[in-house]
């Protein structure tokens, strides 16, 4: 059968293969799913205003983020539970990311331990995503595991003091991983798996404690308000990810790309600003970068690739997006992803 030729087709292929409860877990969002829909719709409302006669035979797509090189400005955003999508889970995803020469942010809720992900994918550039745990000693254990696995950054998720309320999961009664799967990073020293806990009182002090605990760069994920972006700069944060968690946490917050310009203006070039949420096409990547993002992350598109065809599916999703970015750059008369400015995007009034 012909392989899918767009992220959209990968989603259809994944849906056909997945248990409906698992598809809905991956696809769904919080509340009325207003923000979930807004993330994609907002990209659709932005028009590209291309330049002509300015392209290069081989446009430059590569970016360097916190010292890690990516061949294209499209990273793997952290998503939980990859073994629900494919038996090889995060190992397959990491191998595909390594082959595509991009960075994978491994979720703390991965179903393969981060050290085993690293061992399975030599050459992969991994960052580790952390939910601060109420037990500081366990948080520290997780940080050490990320360091030992060779991760290049610690991505601290700030938008989830509690879990978002997701009606699709309620409807299916989906609350736990099936027998045989677990969050492997959550084993304590005795090998027992702890549940992931949320930290409703997570604060800037937790970021300070992490800053003292590790020399890894800290990336703050889930920032939408310009004042928080500015504040993060005083807490030793090396990069920000503008994100609403793919519409899965607080519903009715703005689309990620709508929140981006305010954050970019607030940090004024002091640290890289990344974005995730609703990126499905190369043109979306260009729009985010024109508005000041240094790179973007893709969450669900990677899961769809994994569910549809394992490592090969993820590789194809990443390759498709890369090829789309390359064509869109050329069609916009740009020689490099570093040359894009806000004049490339017409914002609706």
Ligand X SMILES: O=C(O)C(=O)c1ccccc1
Ligand Y SMILES: Cc1cc2nc3c(=O)[nH]c(=O)nc-3n(C[C@H](O)[C@H](O)[C@H](O)COP(=O)(O)O)c2cc1C
Of residues 221, 281, 287, 315, which one binds ligand Y by CB under 6 A?
A: 221
End-to-end CA distance of the chain: 44
Please tell me whether 23 is known to bind a ligand. Answer: no
With a CB cutoff of 8 Å and minimum separation 6, the contacts of 134 are: 197, 199
Q: Does 157 bind ligand Y (CB under 6 A)?
A: yes
Active site residue 175: no
Q: Does 322 bind ligand X (CB under 6 A)?
A: no
Please tell me whether 248 is known to bind a ligand. Answer: yes
Q: Of ligand Y, ligand X, none, which one does residue 91 interact with (CB within 5 to 8 Å by kind)?
A: none
What b/e sequence results for 110-120 when a residue is b if at least 16 CB atoms lie within 10 Å of its CB, and e otherwise? bbbbbbbbbeb
Helix residue spans in the chain (DSSP H): 7-17, 20-27, 34-45, 82-85, 89-99, 114-120, 136-148, 167-172, 204-213, 226-233, 256-267, 282-290, 300-331
The 3-class SS string of 97-111 reads HHHCCCEEEECCCCC
- Residue numbers 145-164 binding ligand X by CB under 6 A: 160
Of residues 77, 121, 151, 275, which one binds ligand Y by CB under 6 A?
A: 77
Burial (Cβ within 10 Å: 0-12, 13-18, ≥19) of residue 346: exposed
Q: Of ligand X, ligand Y, none, which one does residue 277 interact with (CB within 5 to 8 Å by kind)?
A: ligand Y
Q: Which of 82, 172, 245, 338 is catalytic?
A: 245
Which residue, 291 or 306, has its beta carbon nearer to ligand X? 306
Q: Does 233 bind ligand X (CB under 6 A)?
A: no
Q: Does 109 bind ligand X (CB under 6 A)?
A: yes
Q: Of ligand X, ligand Y, none, which one does residue 298 interact with (CB within 5 to 8 Å by kind)?
A: ligand Y
Of residues 248, 281, 287, 300, which one binds ligand X by CB under 6 A?
A: 248
CA distances from 5 to 10, 38, 140 (A): 8, 24, 42
Q: How many C-beta atoms surround the C-beta of residue 175 within 10 A?
A: 8
- Cβ atoms of 102 and 75 closer than 8 Å: yes
Q: Of ligand Y, ligand X, none, which one does residue 196 interact with (CB within 5 to 8 Å by kind)?
A: ligand X
Tell me which residues are annotated as active site: 245
Contact residues for ligand X, defined by CB under 6 A: 80, 109, 160, 196, 245, 248
Contact residues for ligand Y, defined by CB under 6 A: 26, 39, 77-80, 107, 109, 129, 157, 221, 243, 245-246, 248, 276-279, 298-300, 303
- List binding-site positions for glyoxylate: 25, 131, 166, 245, 248
């Amino acid at each position: 059968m012909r392989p899918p030729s767009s992220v959209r087709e990968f989603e259809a292929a994944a849906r056909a293969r997945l248990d409906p409860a698992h598809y809905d877990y991956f696809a769904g969002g919080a509340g009325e799913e207003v923000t979930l829909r807004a993330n994609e719709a907002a990209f659709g409302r932005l028009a590209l205003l291309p330049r002509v006669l300015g392209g290069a035979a081989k446009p430059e797509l590569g970016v360097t983020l916190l010292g890690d090189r990516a061949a294209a400005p499209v990273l793997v955003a952290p998503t939980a539970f990859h073994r629900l999508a494919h038996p090889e889970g995060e190992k397959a995803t990491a191998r595909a990311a390594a082959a595509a020469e991009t960075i994978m942010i491994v979720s703390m809720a991965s179903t393969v331990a981060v050290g085993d992900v690293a061992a399975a994918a030599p050459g992969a550039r991994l960052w580790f995503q952390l939910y601060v745990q109420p037990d500081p000693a366990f948080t520290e254990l997780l940080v050490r595991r990320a360091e030992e696995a060779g991760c290049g950054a610690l991505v601290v998720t700030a938008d989830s003091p509690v879990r978002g309320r997701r009606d699709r999961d309620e409807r299916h009664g989906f609350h736990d991983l099936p027998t045989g799967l677990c969050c492997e990073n959550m084993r304590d020293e005795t090998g027992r798996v702890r549940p992931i806990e949320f930290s409703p009182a997570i604060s800037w002090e937790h970021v300070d404690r992490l800053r003292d605990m590790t020399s890894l760069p800290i990336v703050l994920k889930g920032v939408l308000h310009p004042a928080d972006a500015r504040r993060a700069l005083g807490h030793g944060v090396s990069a920000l990810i503008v994100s609403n968690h793919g519409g899965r946490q607080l519903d009715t917050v703005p689309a990620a790309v709508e929140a981006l310009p305010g954050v970019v203006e607030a940090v004024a070039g002091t640290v890289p600003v990344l974005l995730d949420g609703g990126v499905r096409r190369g043109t979306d990547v260009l729009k985010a970068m024109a508005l000041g993002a240094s790179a973007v992350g893709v969450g669900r598109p990677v899961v769809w690739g994994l569910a549809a065809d394992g490592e090969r599916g993820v590789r194809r999703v990443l390759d498709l997006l890369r090829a789309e970015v390359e064509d869109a750059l050329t069609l916009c008369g740009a020689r490099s992803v570093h040359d894009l400015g806000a004049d490339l995007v017409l914002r609706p009034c």
